[in-house]
Structure 1
Amino acid sequence: MLSKTDFIQYLNCPKSLWLKQHKPEVYPEGEFSDFAQKLAEEGYQVEGYVRQLVQGWPDAASCSFQDVFETNEGLHARVDMLRENEDGTIDIFEIKSSTSVKDGNPHNQLKDAAFQTIAATRAGRGIRNIFIVHLNKDYTRDGEIDPGELLVFADETVRVKGLLDETEQEITEALSLLNEAAIDERSCNCLNLSRSHHCDSFDYFNPGIPEYSIYSLPRLFGRKLEKFVAEGRFGLEQIELEEVSRLQQPIVRASNVENPFIDIADIKNFIGVLAYPLYFLDYETYLSAIPIVNGTGPQQQLPFQFSLHILHEDGRLDHIEYLADRPELPRHLVKALEGAIGANGSIITWNKTFENARNNEMANAFPENRDFLLGLVERTVDLMDVFKTGYVDIRFNGSTSIKKVLPVVVPDLSYEGMEIGDGTAAMDGWNKMINETDREKQARLRRALLEYCKLDTLAMVRIFQFVEGLVKGD
């Protein structure tokens, strides 16, 4: 049996699919994460609006949802929606929660539709048109959701049919592989991909790759990665400094000496631009396919919470926080922030691209606060930058995530055991909180959200103090 999901997995890593079907007992089945659950639920929501819209079509009776096509050779396709045409052909509609048609890896929606088309054709149906239904990125909610404005029916017939010959060949190769009783399990194609693109079964097929390897190097891909793989050089001790970029060199150095790589001058440059008081800022946002607030659009980040630790030059530490109790535009959040942040002092974030993007968006939404918010953008520095070139520990394993840095440099502070411990859980927790009618459960969720966001900024304070201590001890 080869489903659409299986086929996409085959395109990304053929051996991974074979292992999943032939040796399920050893296949490292990834957990159905909270984020994956959220995506699945949003897909159902979008389909619900498609159904609502189609009910008003003159030919609504000719449309159906979730039709299944199966073929003798094992293809299995569940089509989101199809329409029966008067000549006996059908139109296929693939429904997505994205705001555009995705035509690249790791999930190519055109390949999705090509697989569905081939399965339906082999099951005896003629295909006239192929549509990918996605969300309108320019839609802004104003009252009840308007499905006609929310949805885009992109006619992708030409592009999908242009892929059919190629996809037919890939399907044939996938079925042939799945019919093999045994394969070479010594490696998989993912060796030539960066770590974020490795299949779930990468460690199974490549057990000899050390924990700290070339895949710990950020932005390593293409010919350079392929060269290291072809030469069998996976350990960082096998890599010369002149072979990698400036951002990759500290990781190689830290691995070779088995001690943190520290560039005091780089750290001093970072600290030298700071002005007290220091404002350690973190936002939590809600991202949804279907906008939940008037004035927002599909897949738009909606800030609902901030935590702000204020470190004064005399060492005094204050904390201010805000958490919205209902879905709304972040006008009150901005007002609370404006009352907490003075005209002077540096804003310190972790991955300033995210916070600055939200500040720019809120500046456009609230012209009366524009100068304040754009002023925050100008004053913001990124503490994460220190751990790219100034302080690199091999135990970070090439990551600059605060979840990787914190346990190494501040081991007494931890996210372990928290009811809400990451951004996706915070989104889910806030959604549950604003819809919860039980006061006790609502209060528990509120406490958990505040504790998580507070820890994010406290972690930044403690990490900064660790870095500052390096300079003072120099």
Structure 2
Amino acid sequence: MGSHLLSKSSFIRGIQCEKHLFLYKYHYYEMDELSEMQKAVFKRGTDVGKLAQQLFPGGIDLSPESHTDYDEAIIKTKESLKSGKKIIYEAAFQFNDVLSVADILINDNTGLEIFEVKSSTSVTEVYLMDAALQYWVIAKSGYTIKNFSIVYINNQYVRKGELDLKQLFVVESVLDRILPLQKWVEENVSRLKKVLMQNKIPDIDIGEHCYVPYLCGFYYYCRKHIPENSVFDLSGVHLSKKYEMYRSGIISLKEVTDEINLPKNAQIQLDVFRNGKNLIDVDAIKSFLSAINYPLYFMDFETFQPAIPMFDNSRPYMQIPFQFSLHYKENKNSQLKHFEFLAEANNDPRISFIENLIKDTESEGDILVYNKNFEVTRLKEIAEAFPHYKKQIEIIIGRIKDLIIPFQKKYYYTNEMKGSYSIKYVLPALVPELSYENLPVNEGGLASLTFESLFGESDTEIIKEKRNQLLEYCKLDTFAMVKILEKLESIL
């Protein structure tokens, strides 16, 4: 039996790019470092898979102690099926050096039913490829498969009381869609095994395939030759257009000629890069600032998105606000005040969140945010879930103004912004002494993961440390807005 050459994941890597497959198999330690977000996605998939097992209770779990050692699991699977075990989790099969692990397997006298669990909210083409490979391995191992289904999350499910797994999960048979793919699977297994038998890395250049179906694990490894300020940094330019320039030999922004037609924002970006002068539209900035009235709040929210709804009146992947920061200035020259809220990770944070926000914004004045749509949408969702607060929320929404506008519309643009109007780029460009770089929690996705991790944490010191990190990050978001507005005001 021995170790396998291909598995579900490596097969998909090979379909995406032969070089990706080869590097993953033989140059694993050259792979780009996994981000905390990517690690969280993997953990989420594992957690959802474990929960889905409860749809078919009473099974035996054949997960190996090490994800690299499936030999024992393959033997145990064969023995369990022979002895008539009805339900098996993580059943392992191997045929022709290809490994397949079925999330959930139901065994009866007429054949096997296979269930593959996904933490997404629909059946995608890549899931069908994955399922087709599994079917091929299991069928070629001598078993009759009477049905093959993908189990995924119903994002329209609204939790009311105890979690209803039959409402949370959708079970969709894909048998009729994977049977026609069996010849395709066999041909590609043969092709990819030949790739792995080579003694050198496949000579494949970067391209659109680096992103589909997933961002390649060797994305940065393969881009060592791409300079800073390249065509890939151009804002609003379609990916295919960037690669069209790249393949024609235009890589650096210095090499982009006037004959190349670019969208307005990308052309502004290129012009500023070429002449080295900041773009500052004083009249447009003056008009923008004239609509902002003191007293003034600077507001920012943080949210988390549990795949499995944790609270009543919430859906899978719904953004649940758990934290806000507010800076407040009575006038341009007044002392800055700060208010903040961070929920305890023990129940639904939305009630305490909105009650504290209403209290802390009760003084008159505009409320300035960065990317208005995000905060407004979260407030509307709270109003829908808790109608008691609807009128007060509508008043808050009516006071909100958006600080992103001067940068989104390029009233103010510098080369340091690299085509982006994200506050993570705008802040260091306008206020170089401030930066997110050295913060332990330095972006919204990481803040979300940090808070969600507190629900399972019992160490009080760790809880205290993580809460302080969250407070520090969210506070900088609103302080950044204060300093950015001051910079805009100083232009006039």
Distance change (3 Å), C-alpha of 1:431 and 1:167: same
- SS of 1:244's partner is coil
Distance change (3 Å), C-alpha of 1:204 and 1:348: same
- SS of 1:370's partner is helix
Separation in 1, partners of 2:278, 2:298: 25
Contact 1:140–1:294 under 8 Å retained in 2? yes
Matched residue type, 2:166? G
1:49 to 45, 51, 70: 51
Which residue does the alignment assign to 1:66?
A: 90
Distance change (3 Å), C-alpha of 1:466 and 1:146: same
Q: How does 1:22-421 map to 2 (within 5 A)?
A: 22-24=26-28, 27=30, 29-55=31-57, 62-72=86-96, 74-87=97-110, 89-103=111-125, 108-183=126-201, 185=203, 187-190=205-208, 199-221=216-238, 223-240=240-257, 243-316=261-334, 317-325=336-344, 326-342=346-362, 345-388=365-408, 389-421=410-442
Cα shift at 1:304? 0.9
Matched residue type, 1:39? V
Residue by residue over 1:430-453, the C-alpha shift from the partner in whole angstroms, topping out at 9 and shown as x without a partner, is 234455445444333332222221
Task: Report the RMSD for the aligned CA atoms in angstroms.
Answer: 2.9
Contact 1:139–1:298 under 8 Å retained in 2? yes
- SS of 2:146's partner is strand
Structure 2 portions without partners, runs of 5+? 60-83
Which residue does the alignment assign to 2:22?
A: 18
Distance change (3 Å), C-alpha of 1:132 and 1:407: same
Distance change (3 Å), C-alpha of 1:333 and 1:24: closer
Distance change (3 Å), C-alpha of 1:314 and 1:200: same
Cα shift at 1:206? 4.3
- SS of 1:297's partner is coil
Contact 2:325–2:339 under 8 Å retained in 1? yes
Contact 1:13–1:188 under 8 Å retained in 2? no
Residue by residue over 1:176-197, the C-alpha shift from the partner in whole angstroms, topping out at 9 and shown as x without a partner, is 322222255472334x768997
Which residue does the alignment assign to 1:446?
A: 467
Residue by residue over 1:332-369, the C-alpha shift from the partner in whole angstroms, topping out at 9 and shown as x without a partner, is 21122112224754332223332222112112112232
Which residue does the alignment assign to 2:480?
A: 459
Distance change (3 Å), C-alpha of 1:294 and 1:187: same
Separation in 1, partners of 2:32, 2:314: 33
Contact 1:295–1:329 under 8 Å retained in 2? no
Separation in 1, partners of 2:352, 2:446: 23
Cα shift at 1:90? 2.1
Cα shift at 1:245? 0.6
Contact 2:90–2:102 under 8 Å retained in 1? yes
Cα shift at 1:21? 2.4
Distance change (3 Å), C-alpha of 1:204 and 1:41: closer
Regions of 4+ moved over 6 Å: 192-197
Distance change (3 Å), C-alpha of 1:169 and 1:393: farther
Separation in 2, partners of 1:268, 1:10: 54
Cα shift at 1:64? 0.9
Residue by residue over 1:8-32, the C-alpha shift from the partner in whole angstroms, topping out at 9 and shown as x without a partner, is 223333322222323345x2x2333
- For structure 1, which segment, 452-461 or 205-214, has the greater mean C-alpha deviation from structure 2 after superposition? 205-214
- SS of 1:52's partner is helix
Distance change (3 Å), C-alpha of 1:252 and 1:193: farther
TM-score normalised per structure 2: 0.84
Matched residue type, 1:421? N
Structure 1 portions without partners, runs of 5+? none
Contact 1:34–1:425 under 8 Å retained in 2? yes
Contact 1:323–1:450 under 8 Å retained in 2? yes
Separation in 2, partners of 1:195, 1:136: 24
Separation in 2, partners of 1:23, 1:446: 38
Separation in 1, partners of 2:197, 2:417: 41
Separation in 2, partners of 1:158, 1:186: 34
Distance change (3 Å), C-alpha of 1:21 and 1:300: same
Separation in 2, partners of 1:348, 1:196: 38
Matched residue type, 1:371? K
Separation in 2, partners of 1:39, 1:234: 33
- SS of 1:313's partner is coil
Contact 2:231–2:246 under 8 Å retained in 1? no
Cα shift at 1:460? 1.7
Matched residue type, 1:112? D
Cα shift at 1:132? 0.9
Separation in 2, partners of 1:376, 1:163: 54
Matched residue type, 1:32? L
Cα shift at 1:109? 1.9
Separation in 1, partners of 2:225, 2:464: 49
